[in-house]
Amino acid sequence: MHNIEQTRPILEVNHLKKAFHLHLVDGRVIEPFADISFQVSKGEFFIISGKSGIGKTSILKCIYRTYLTTSGDIWYSSQHFKRVNIATASEEVVLKLREHELAFCSQFLKVLPRVPAIDVTAEPLVQRGMERSEARKEAEQWLRRLGIEQSRWQTSPVTFSGGEQQRLNLARAFIARPRFLLLDEPTASLDATSKSIVLEMIREARAAGVTILTVSHDTASMQPLADNIYWLK
Amino acid sequence: MDAWILKATNLTKRYGPSCLYCTALTGAERSNRCPICGTVIACAKINFVLKQGEVLGIVGESGSGKSTLMQIVNLSLPADDGEVWYRERDKQKQFQEKPVNLLKLDKYTRRAFRNERLGIVHQRPELGLNMKFLVGGNVAEKLLLANWRNVGRIRERTAELMRLTELPPERIDDDPRMFSGGMLQRVQISKALSSNPAVLLLDEVTSGLDLSVQARVLDLIKHLQWELKMTMLLVSHDLGVIKQLASRTMVMKNGWAVESGLTDQILEDPQHPYTQLLVSSAL
């Protein structure tokens, strides 16, 4: 039996619609999706799936406010601000949410060159005010866990393979222990071993109470973990 | 209480006689030059708020008024209209209740403020440096004006900053005319950072730097932002630099702010036609 706090959705998306006005291409309007509604409960592992180009990542980006929502609501139950409509919230509130509660893990790692992998991983912690040496220690644990050799920790992730970069990217998302995690194709370019490590990380985070919303093609390997799957058509 | 440290309202700068029709006949979509009196509107009603530790990026084409805005905030150029409010913090790092309008300060307070609280990196090194002073002297100038009195400590600090910006510290007593453009840029950065300013103004900080030094300098700036909670205004042509450093970005055109928002939103979902052109033109 769930109590009320658990059953109230942490994220409620109502009639979400996004339109891109391409002023440079004769003012053409592109609508990746319209009328999307779903709810994510606290502590859930929620998957959005569907074929390429249907707007899965765009939904995630709307929730993270990288994209401005054209119409519809994105209600998020925050720890700091109670219920926030991310679609219309002020920039200040969104920045606060990103700093303390929301994390977005994109498909591609974009980092400053010449910064060693260990510091790249520790970055989210340093950003939150943790001592650099302490943050590094924690980053070491994550790198070891994700199977990145110790000899490479001092090199820049620019030299890493695609799969290694993705693992590093995931480490950056998990290390900050967000309350709500948005993952964009977390297993896309990973081999079977790394994939199982990532799935284990997801399982662990969920057990710790983190709500995870992910966009993925790879429903086969994620389905056993998922609490809910939303199919885009 | 929100923790803003610097707030600009309605900043306007005109070059020229200005007539009754200036505002009506210029604008982001037209031109910044009034066709009747020839006045150039460099900045038109610019507003922004900077919170402690925040980095605001400013992008826009050449001549859109970015540097003019920086000069006004650096208190080296009088504005025609508008205010720049600053909130001082006391020893316990608590914000004081009453903000100060920096543009209304008298000449002496203004100079002291600029030396102690502000640091600026100009686009052109010769604007920020005195080419008749030695390299060390240039950095020492700012430290002396910010009330540093111990020569040994001043030299130590200068050498430390030179190492941070990857300049050979043994060249502290060289003539700046013997330095390359990129090296002068780094001397400027050292000078700007020397007194640990509350607000750092960076005007094209990475232009003229070779790529390896650029990465080093950007990493340095990132850590100033996180570890010292330094507040910054960052003007750059390079959208990659803006993306790495700024949390919010303002886009300027013909003196007007045409769009502002979260940096990733500006770069990935630009709304204004000009911003779309700018973003789609980036490499």
Q: Which residues contact B95 (CB under 8 A, 6 or more apart)?
A: B1, B3, B5, B87, B88, B89
Is the pLDDT higher at B227 or at B11? B11
Mean pLDDT of B160-188: 90
Residue A21 sits at the chain B interface (C-beta within 8 Å): yes
Residue A149 sits at the chain B interface (C-beta within 8 Å): no
Residue A195 sits at the chain B interface (C-beta within 8 Å): no
* pLDDT value for B9: 94
Residue A25 sits at the chain B interface (C-beta within 8 Å): no
* pLDDT value for A179: 92
Residue of chain A minimizing CA distance to B272: A23
B248:A95 CB<8 A: yes
Residue B53 sits at the chain A interface (C-beta within 8 Å): no
pLDDT in tens, B86-122: 988 776 677 777 888 999 999 999 988 998 899 999 9
Per-residue H/E/C for A156-218: CHHHCCHHHHHHHHHHHHHHCCCCEEEEECCCCCCCHHHHHHHHHHHHHHHHCCCEEEEECCC
A61:B268 CB<8 A: yes
Neighbours of A225 (CB within 10 A): 15
Which residues are A84's β-sheet partners?
A76
pLDDT in tens, B255-270: 999 999 999 999 999 9
Residue of chain B minimizing CA distance to A127: B226
Q: Which residues of A touch B280 (CB under 8 A)?
A: 24
pLDDT < 50: residue spans in chain A: 1-2
Q: What single letter denotes the amino acid at residue A186?
A: P
Which residues are B81's β-sheet partners?
B12
Contact B46, B8 (CB under 8 A): yes
Q: What single letter denotes the amino acid at residue A185?
A: E
From CA B269, how far away is CA A66, in angstroms rounded?
7
pTM: 0.88
From CA B255, how far away is CA B18, in angstroms rounded?
15
* pLDDT value for B97: 72
Which residues are A46's β-sheet partners?
A213, A228
Residue of chain A minimizing CA distance to B265: A66
From CA B22, how far away is CA B33, in angstroms rounded?
8
* pLDDT value for A49: 92
From CA B170, how far away is CA B76, in angstroms rounded?
32
Contact A140, A127 (CB under 8 A): no
Please report, in angstroms and rounded to a whole number, the separation of the first and last CA atoms in chain B. Answer: 41
pLDDT in tens, A173-225: 989 889 999 999 888 878 888 888 888 888 988 999 999 999 998 888 888 88
**Hunting for tokens 């002396």 — which residue is that?**
B144
Say if the ipTM goes beyond 0.90.
no
**pLDDT at B66 exceeding the cut of 50:** yes
